[in-house]
A and B are shown apart, each in its own frame.
Chain A
Amino acid sequence: MTTEVGSETEVKKEPEKAEEQSPAPEQDAQAPAAEPKAEAELPCGETAPPGGDGDAQPKAASPEKERKQKEPSAGKGISRFLPPWLKRQKSQSQAEPREAEKENQEKVDEQQQPGQESAPKSPVSEAKEAPGEELKSDDKDDKHSIGSADTQPAKEEKGDESLERSADVKEKEESKCEEKKEEGETPKPDSGTEKPLLKAAKKMKTVMCHVTLLDGSQFPCEVEKRAKGHFLFFKVCEHLNLLEKDYFGLSYKDAADQKCWLDPAKEIKRQIRNSPWQFAFNVKFYPPDPSQLTEDITRYLLCLQLRQDIASGRLPCSFVTHSLLGSYTLQAELGDYDPSEHRLEYLSDFQFAPTQTKEMEEKVVELHKNHRGMTPAQADAQFLENAKKLSMYGVDLHHAKDSEGVDIMLGVCANGLLVYKDRLRINRFAWPKILKISYKRSNFYIKIRPGEQFESSVGFKLPNHRSAKRLWKVCVEHHTFFRLVTPEQPPKARFLTLGSKFRYSGRTQAQTRQASSLIDRPAPYFERTSSKRVSRSLDGGGSRTQHGSANHYATCWPTSLLLSPRLAQWIRLHHPLPRGELVWSDSQTPLRATLVLNRTACLRAFWCLVCVRLASPCLQTSLWFLIPQSKLRVQGENIYVRHSNLMLEDLDKTQEDVLKHQASISELKRSFMESTPEPRPDQWDKRLTASPATSLRLQAQGPPVVKTEMVTISDTFAAQKTEISTKEVPIVHTETKTITYEAAQVGDSEPGVLMTAQTITSESLCTTTTTHITKTLKGGLSETRIEKRIVITGDSDIDHDQALAQAIKEAKEQHPDMSVTRVVVHKETELAEEGED
């Protein structure tokens, strides 16, 4: 598993692996031994694998299992389904298919599905493993290798501290059975070229998984029925654009409605049994010091998790802390406090506490005022700085009884195991003091290092066998993640041993930190959505809707604008921006300058631009772009990211402002006209418009790359999506003609619950396509509605009808599984321009 985690980063492994394989054989020899089904008690200390194995460990937490797994068929099948990125990984981490041959492929499979216990494999497969590991260490991704690979030294260290674990035999038996089944079921093509694999893949059945993300949205994901947990997990991480994955996991509810972690190394189906394929993406290991996370996006996700934890009461806080954290949430979501916008009723859409009082909301607002100027990322960081100090931060609680039958709670955390009675912490066992953790039936035991405690072994009674096992697993994982440098190797099979083979198969915190320190990408743009509010706004009617979108607007606000120097100049001279709000950060490029603005200034500047655009649609929008956070190296693809609908909301609201601004707008326009008779697209624009690939990519990538455009979606969250409000165009007289073609609606009157909404805008020469995707949950069914707004701009020499037909055709092609239910043609002809002078 570890391997996969790293995969994104690792991406460019080359075919060298094949050579490396040679050493592998030795390992194989060892491996066979491991296979025995009897489970063993595994002293952690012992875990350190002898010799060659050690290397392997880092990557695959449970090499043995993997080897065993070799049931290639399953793996191959999966590989077909893998999205390109995943495949890439594989190829990288492992030899390329040609070179490495089948073995490699198998290997790939293994890596993807590490930890599975399966029938004995052929030596070959083992060989593969070895290469894979080595590969990691080489290429650029040394980083990874560091993180994941050099296990051995670490292992020795572990020795002392590591826990000895033993688990119930029965459990193992279960797993054995499962494994056997798997073996039986899965065909094992040893050698498969890719093509054969592909064919096989087609046969595989797929299942739709629904993953609830931390912002409350749903991520549907189709997986092969036999897919392992990590496949889905990686899909989700990819969707989220998350690299620091190791702190997260997928959970599901078992039959008893208990939350369980999906083991990445095992087949999903075997874990969830008869439960629905419904998962939640959650933080699994709460980093004790979130400031050490590398990326803001990771911190953002952690914030979302903590907001949930707080709102649900899982993470108790005092009144003041609820208020303080709430105020940071507001700052992150809404930006600076704005008395005209941020009225109190606004806040009732946020949940700051399990029970939220007016008094608390007032306090939140009061504190929010203090955070002026803080960026969303800073607000998140502050949120985390405070949240991490909470006593129950990162504590995973489990109901239990002590040896006297008294109700207690066992809390697993980064530092060890905590024992609570009512709200009081009555004992604490730090990981270094624990020699062994085990469970038997519904009992959970810890063996304490002698001398520290009166008793050397402490037992707790859990509600049932499953909960004992769950607690034990969580302990094993936390211990490994936080305490060890590298994951332990799964038990080496000796002859007849009992005990679980379960080991944490991911990276440890040390490894993940190391790996993420090597992350080298521009901070990814991500959309902050307070989905809860958005969804509420649906049923809340008009005013709520406004709030919701205004919120959206604020949260997406970029902190910098890329402007033509002319425009920048104009803004600097004429626009009432307070001094000091503009920073010229790019003086080298003659064609443009970057303004680094705070949100307010940015808003004003943007406002001004919007006005210009409104005033004269014929001016190319290409004059300006919004880019996220001054990531200038936005070549081609992740260029212009921006949001749109919010803007409009704002326009609607402040018509008066529009009028107020008219004077300056006309001035602006004039300055444009004067200085550049015809606005020429600069380099950027050319690049953008010239390559159709850009728009494609935009579409494919989703939220992270949204081009900003003046969009005419009026109220996307309300039902009347298609209605274009023309009132935001006070300056231009237009003749408006709206034609609506509508397919018979499937009788749906109730609006359902909005799960997600995203807007993607792309632009080509004369058309601008805004795709608005909403996912709605209606009576258990989720409905995806894609609304494309195609703005065709141009003079008479463009055949609008043809362009429209083309656009519709393309839309159909892009979404073959969807039907067009409505086409609205909205034609605007500019009659005259006012206020130009």
Chain B
Amino acid sequence: MTALTAPFGRFTHSVVRAIPASFGEGALRTCSAQVDLAAALREHEHYVAVLKHRLGLQVVELPADESLPDCVFVEDAAVVCGDTALVTRPGAPSRRKETEAMKQALQELNLNIVEMDDDSATLDGGDVLFTGREFFVGLSTRTNQRGAEILADAFKDYTVSPVPVLDGLHLKSFCSMAGPDLIAIGSSEPAQKAFKVMQQMSDHRYDKLTVSDDIAANCVYMNLPDKGHVLLYCTSEEYPESAKVFEKLKDYTLIPVSNSEKVKVDGALTCCSVFINKKLEN
């Protein structure tokens, strides 16, 4: 029923959101790139299909909102851990309204909803790395100290340690969990530095899986009852070196997922879903 008792990565539900037509033009991005909307839609469809059909998760699909071009990146709108969901206050003002639909969906899933009431706080879920033992929260252009504090307040069971994000959009733009106590991390200097900080802050020693491309370090790890370790990771077409690293993982169900369009607007694999474990609550 709680993250205290469930194995790390155990999920039953996923919340995703469709890509609006405004995505191609309107989605925020750090570098100017042309997005092929149709390709992005296909990509996303495949992603959702993997969750739904391949992995058997209950997928809650929120409809797109044309006024919210970034709305597909649901991860930023909420942080869910155990039975508690923190509805964030995204750092980009244009994205604040994305949380409304998310909040409603989470309420319907009977989660304890915590909201960020503080107008000075900002937090993007993309800056939140939950390791199963503790939280690291990136202090980035999107997430500030106050936001991190509210995160800590919402999840009192866990230690929350801030990590400065010196480069890249989010903390998870260069890292993610690739297994229990296994952190996938990009090989860039800022990424490695961030890892050092995390290690320094933690009472626990994490294993590190270094991949050559920072963005490829963003993967989706799950531990599913009938499938064991599952990893969604970048395809070898996009990031051949990094893919090789993931493919060396033993006893994993490895599922390469293409992300070539969403990545143009800084979207990574974890960005497109919020995972929830509801099983024990039935």
Contact = CB atoms under 8 A, between A and B. Distances in A.
A415 interface: yes
Contacts of A316: 156-157
Contact of B158 (A391, A415, A427): A391
B1 to A, nearest CB: 7
B75 to A, nearest CB: 21
A386 interface: yes
B4 A321 contact: yes
A760 interface: no
B2 A422 contact: no
Contact of B156 (A318, A389, A415): A318
A391 B157 contact: yes
Contacts of B145: 424
B2 A320 contact: yes
Given A318-B157, A321-B4, A423-B153, A428 B84 contact: no
Interface string A406-430: 0000000001000000111111101
B160 A424 contact: yes
B156 A320 contact: no
B201 interface: yes
B146 to A, nearest CB: 9
A318 B84 contact: yes
B250 to A, nearest CB: 28
A430 B160 CA distance: 17
Given A319-B84, A389-B4, A423 B160 contact: yes
A422 B5 CA distance: 27
Nearest to B1: A320
A596 interface: no
A324 interface: yes
Interface in A309-349: 316-321, 324
Nearest to B203: A415
Contacts of A321: 2, 4, 156-157
Contacts of A424: 137, 145, 148-149, 152, 160-162
A390 interface: yes
A488 to B, nearest CB: 24
B104 interface: no
Contacts of A317: 156-157
A430 B5 CA distance: 27
A304 B83 CA distance: 26
A430 B155 CA distance: 24
B130 to A, nearest CB: 13
Contact of A423 (B134, B149, B200): B149
B83 A320 contact: yes
A428 B202 contact: yes
Contacts of A320: 1-2, 4, 82-84, 112
B110 interface: no
Contacts of B107: none
Interface size of B as a range: 20 to 34
B159 interface: yes
B159 A422 contact: no
A367 B1 CA distance: 10
A380 B206 CA distance: 30
Interface in B82-127: 82-84, 112
Contacts of A415: 203
Contacts of B162: 424, 426
**Which of A389, A391, A428 counts the most B-chain CB atoms under 10 A from its CB?**
A391
A428 B112 contact: no
**Which of B1, B155, B203 counts the most A-chain CB atoms under 10 A from its CB?**
B203
A324 B4 contact: yes
A520 B215 CA distance: 58
A7 B203 CA distance: 34
Contact of B152 (A422, A427, A430, A452): A422
Contact of A391 (B83, B84, B159): B159
A391 B203 CA distance: 10
Contacts of A386: 4-5
Interface string B187-224: 00000000000001111000000000000000000000
Nearest to B82: A320
Nearest to B150: A423
B233 to A, nearest CB: 29
Nearest to A422: B149
Contact of A425 (B5, B153, B201): B201
**Which of B155, B157, B202 counts the most A-chain CB atoms under 10 A from its CB?**
B157
Contacts of A318: 2, 82, 84, 155-157
Nearest to B3: A320
A548 to B, nearest CB: 30
B206 to A, nearest CB: 14
B87 to A, nearest CB: 16
A366 to B, nearest CB: 10
B112 A319 contact: yes
A422 B200 CA distance: 19
Contacts of A425: 159-161, 201
Contacts of A422: 149, 152
Contacts of B1: 320, 324, 367
A324 B1 CA distance: 9
Contacts of A367: 1
Given A317-B157, A320-B112, 19 more contacts: A319-B83, A319-B84, A320-B82, A321-B4, A324-B2, A389-B4, A389-B133, A390-B157, A391-B134, A391-B157, A391-B158, A391-B159, A391-B160, A422-B152, A423-B153, A424-B137, A425-B201, A426-B161, A427-B201
Interface of A: 316-321, 324, 367, 386, 389-391, 415, 422-428, 430, 452
9 contacts: A321-B2, A321-B157, A324-B2, A386-B4, A389-B4, A415-B203, A423-B152, A424-B161, A426-B161
